[in-house]
Amino acid sequence: MIEMALYFAMGCFGVGLLFNLYRIAVGPQAADRILALDTMVINVIALIVLYGIQGGTATYYEASMLVAMVGFVSTVAYCRFLLRGDIIE
């Protein structure tokens, strides 16, 4: 039963990644693309944790934690670059 639910959740997040890809391709503005990239990072975190549950190992938490941190920093850096033309003033 858990196996079926895992596949369902993975499918949902996978389809969500495709939606995000559509938004990145269509735009129409830079803010939309940043938002879609941020959502993509969150979906990937969920996929990594689901993969960890499926494998039954606790190895993937560090990976998902790192992805969360890198995603946050990259989103803020991209926004600041568009806002001020510079990342660290």
User: Is residue 33 exposed (0-12), middle (13-18) or buried (19+ Cβ within 10 Å)?
Assistant: middle
Residue 75 touching another protein (CB under 8 A): yes
Regarding 85 and contact with another protein (CB under 8 A), the answer is no
Reduce the secondary structure of 2-22 to three states and give it as a string.
Answer: HHHHHHHHHHHHHHHHHHHHH
Q: Does residue 51 touch another protein according to CB under 8 A?
A: no
Site residues, another protein (CB under 8 A): 1-2, 4-6, 8-13, 15-17, 19-20, 22-23, 29-32, 34-36, 38-39, 42-43, 45-46, 49-50, 52-53, 56, 58, 61, 64-65, 68-69, 72, 75-76, 79-80, 82-83
